[in-house]
Amino acid sequence: MNAALYRLPRNLKLDASTRLLDLGCGRGAILRNLDDQLQCDHPPVGLDLSREMLRHAQRDEGNPRRGAGLVQGAATALPFQDSAFNLVLCGHLVKFMDDVDVVGLFAEVRRVLEPGGLAVVWEFGPTGNPRLDAWNARVVSPRGPRPRLRSERTLKRLATDAGFEFTREADLRPFLLPPVPRSSVLLGRPPEDYTPLRLA
């Protein structure tokens, strides 16, 4: 359930000037919903590694004139120019990555964000109970490799390692289906004229 993501325009005070990139866009539902709300001046862009998912996204697109740009590629090597976007969404990508690849992903997200831009990253998270976490991991990936359920604290640390100056919990609600906690973080590049506060 991604209802909290559909409230991003209000919570982040987004408007039609938003230049949106959705990493791991799947069938593009979040892209379409946000574009419908914002009527973006620039069509949003979705990237996914799966050609099949992008074909589904293309078929699901109901308004070709305002259609999202759909790009096949890896999130750890984004085929976009520096500072091309002011909002990047990244959901359900990091659970099968090791920490080195997550830092690489976050570094790419930071590169394509313009100064003053924001990124929202979310994933299945841990409960703190090893037995319940093991059960949740099987629910999340019953046939695939065991996912890494990282906390917000861990995601913020990896984002800092990638160069992000601003990190905080995004406070997205837990998933209901499946009933697994959600880790979510808000990351940002400060504006060019930003001067950090220096304490004496």
| Exposure string for 16-50, b = 16+ CB within 10 A, e = fewer | eebbbbbbbbbbbbbbbebbebbebeebbbbbbee
Residue 194 lies in a domain: no
Dmax (CA) for the chain in angstroms is: 58
* pLDDT tens-digit series, residues 34-82: 999 999 999 899 999 999 999 998 888 765 445 568 999 999 999 999 9
Residue 193 lies in a domain: no
Residue 34 lies in a domain: yes
Residue 77 lies in a domain: yes
Domain span at residue 85 reads 3-188
Q: CB-based burial of residue 193 (10 Å sphere; 0-12 exposed, 13-18 middle, 19+ buried)?
A: exposed
State the CATH number of the domain containing residue 28: 3.40.50.150
pTM here is 0.89
Residue 200 lies in a domain: no
Q: How many CA atoms lie within 13 A of 151 on its CB side?
A: 6
Residue 41 lies in a domain: yes
Number of domains in the chain: 1
Helix residue ranges per DSSP H, 113-145: 130-140
* pLDDT tens-digit series, residues 111-136: 999 999 999 999 999 998 999 999 88
3-state helix, strand, coil in the chain (%, to 5): 35, 20, 45
**Under the phi-then-psi rule, with left for phi > 0, alpha for psi from -120 to 50, and beta for the rest, what region is 118?**
beta
Residue 65 lies in a domain: yes
* CA 71 to centroid of chain Cα atoms: 16
